[in-house]
Amino acid sequence: MKKYNLLFVFSILIFTSCGDDFLESVPQAQVFESNYYQSEEQLFKGLIGAYDPLQWTFPDGAWTSSVMLGEIRSDNANAGGDPSNGDQPGWQAIDDFNNSSLTLESQSFWKRGYWGVYRSNVIIANEEVQTDQADIYRAEAIFLRAFYHFDLFRTFGPVPAINKVLTDKDYQSMQRVSVDSLFSFMTNDLLDAIPTLPETKYTGEFAGRVSRTTAQALLGKLYLYWADMKNDDPALFDKAATHLSAVVSSGQYQLVDDYAQLFAFGVKNNEESVFEIQHTNKVPADWGGAQYIDGNMITQLCGIRGLCNDHPEYVAGWGFLLPTESLNSHFLADDEYRRDAAIISIAELADEGCSVNLGDQNELDFEGYWQQKYANFNSYSAPNGGDLNLQKDPNEPVIRYSDVLLMYAEALIRGNGSTGEASQYIDMVRERAAGPDANTFRNTQQLMSDEGMTILDVIWYERRAEFAGEGDRWFDLIRSGRVNANLFDADKAGNLNMDEIWLAIPQRDIENSAGTLSAYPSQELFN
């Protein structure tokens, strides 16, 4: 996708004087919101602006990453950072269930999401340009509006559903809506967008823009979450299966042969990519305009802290998102290939001839492992200048084809589909996970027999193993009602409050809404 730096600031200069008519003329060469979107080109630039918040990693001065939230909040990872355990206190609080409406990271997540909603609504509301191409741009914006709302839901629980450009007065009456209202709003958006979006996925310079199958995959995911929230509603699982089946039958995606290559240096928008947030290192960046950085800061944040200076592939990072022993031991003995692609241990680094300064680790969070899906490769560069730490550019996969296959299998199992058919899609993921040189793998039926699992247990096993370090774990636990104190160590479990498992809406926005927004959702919103 092409990158543009757009400032959506529309200024009106009003000149007044004592009867001098020539000073009251209409200003020339001014850009007004009311007269800007007059061509396909202008609408497209606005659409790029609507995509832009997807890649924000530092709005309002706090690191903002759904990957970090989905891992650190869960049993997959600890916050990490420097030995003081005070590095990035907001993330330490999120990790330990000590966060509140005053946690700065909440403010950043909220800003990223609702700026995305605002920019999407600006495009959706524009009806000046009436062409087939303009209709596609508006459909993309409708998808983005649904996605931003979904991301906000996964972070804060049921949030306000915003279908127009808000005025100050509108904001003062914002309030949370029910799960049913929010999911109805999001799924209707996607149903509206799907017929207009292109049937074929974008490639080349437009890779990363959404197509019909992208929207169908997200729609299937939404129905899956909604079904879970509605006491395992089989009819909603069936709807999820219908839309995920359309992605599978499109024939546009396939699993990458080698799982270890999914996050290799320079790999972007491969044949497994259904929806992927784009990042670039070509735009110079510094700390002065950090929220507009186009690089993916998770790479520097979550690189190996205290790494030796002569590692053949990696350079040291800041040591966040430290995998737990719980995650390491989750992988079965015949699933080492997938584990080794997700995490790296002290012993493995030693085998590579590299020592690590263990005194640099956060001793309360470090359990002997670092993540390596977002590896801090020494090959990263900043070709046009700027701070290299801010410009490392791996993309962020949001929906991979393996996710589609596992969601489809889950929807079949929990709806009215065929267990046998579901097993086929699980086995496709398991066969790839064994590694390109493996001659055999244990299929679903063998796992059920050998490990005493149900087929749904196999799904949960696969999702945690397949997406380890990618940010899905916490959200899977929440939607399926599997969050409980037994997942965490005693200190963290002691802080777990089931009424506050979502992040709190930031205090600033509670006050801006004149108190109509609540920090946490009430149980009535889920009924």
What integer is the mean pLDDT of 316-334? 98
CA dist., res. 456 & res. 104, Å (int):
37
Question: Of the given ranges (21-25, 83-87, 236-240, 503-507), which has the lowest mean pLDDT?
Answer: 21-25
Q: For 446-471, what is the mean pLDDT? A: 98
* Residue 497 backbone phi and psi in degrees, to 5: -125, 115
What percent of the chain lies above the pLDDT cut of 70?
93
pLDDT value for 3: 41
**Would you state the pLDDT for residue 290?**
67
For residue 396, what are the β-bridge partners?
277
* pLDDT level of residue 34 (50, 70, 90 thresholds): low
Q: What DSSP line would sit under 121-176, residue for residue?
A: HHHHH--S--SHHHHHHHHHHHHHHHHHHHHHHHHHSS-----SPPPHHHHTT---
Residue 30 pLDDT grade (very low, low, confident, very high; cuts 50, 70, 90): low
Mean local confidence (pLDDT), 237-248: 98
Give the model's confidence band at 31: pLDDT under 50 very low, under 70 low, under 90 confident, else very high. Answer: low
User: 526 pLDDT band (50/70/90 cuts)?
Assistant: very high
- Alpha-carbon distance 403 to 248, whole Å? 11
Query: 494 pLDDT exceeds 50?
Result: yes
pLDDT of 480-491, one tens digit each?
999 999 999 999
Q: What's the average model confidence in pLDDT over 111-138?
A: 96
> If you count them, how many residues does the chain have?
527
Residue tagged 């191409």 (tokens): 133
Distance CA 126, CA 138 (A): 8
pLDDT score for 60:
83
Summary mean pLDDT of the chain:
92
Residues 6+ apart with CB under 8 A from 471: 65, 66, 67, 68, 69, 70, 71
Q: What is the pLDDT of residues 338-359, one digit of tens each?
A: 999 999 999 999 999 999 999 9
Mean pLDDT of 239-258: 98
Amino acid letter for position 333: A
Structure tokens at 157: 């629980």
What's the pLDDT at 5?
Answer: 37
pLDDT for 223: 98
Output the pLDDT for position 168. 80
pLDDT digits (tens, 9 = 90+) for 94-117: 999 999 999 999 999 999 999 999
Do 171 and 510 meet the contact criterion of CB atoms below 8 Å apart? no
| pTM tops 0.95, yes or no | no
Residue 28 is predicted with a pLDDT of: 52
pLDDT of 1 above 70: no
How far is residue 452's CA from residue 255's CA, in Å, rounded to a whole number? 28
How far from each other are the two terminal CA atoms of the chain, in whole angstroms? 40
Packing angle of the helix pair 419-433, 444-451 (nearest 10 deg): 90
- Residues 119, 122, 123: CA angle, nearest 5 degrees: 95
| Region 148-161 average pLDDT | 98
* Predicted local distance difference test score (pLDDT) of residue 342: 98
Please tell me the predicted confidence (pLDDT) of residue 257. Answer: 97
Q: Per residue, what are the HEC states of 214-255? A: HHHHHHHHHHHHHHHHCCCCHHHHHHHHHHHHHHHHCCCCCC
Helix (H) or strand (E) holding 468: none
Residue 13 above 70 pLDDT?
no
> Tokens representing 5?
């730096």
Q: Which residue has the higher pLDDT, 61 or 411?
A: 411
Condensed to tens digits (0 to 9), the pLDDT of residues 260-307 reads: 999 999 999 999 999 999 999 999 988 877 667 899 999 999 999 999
- The dihedral region occupied by 52, where left means phi > 0, alpha psi between -120 and 50, and beta the remainder, is alpha
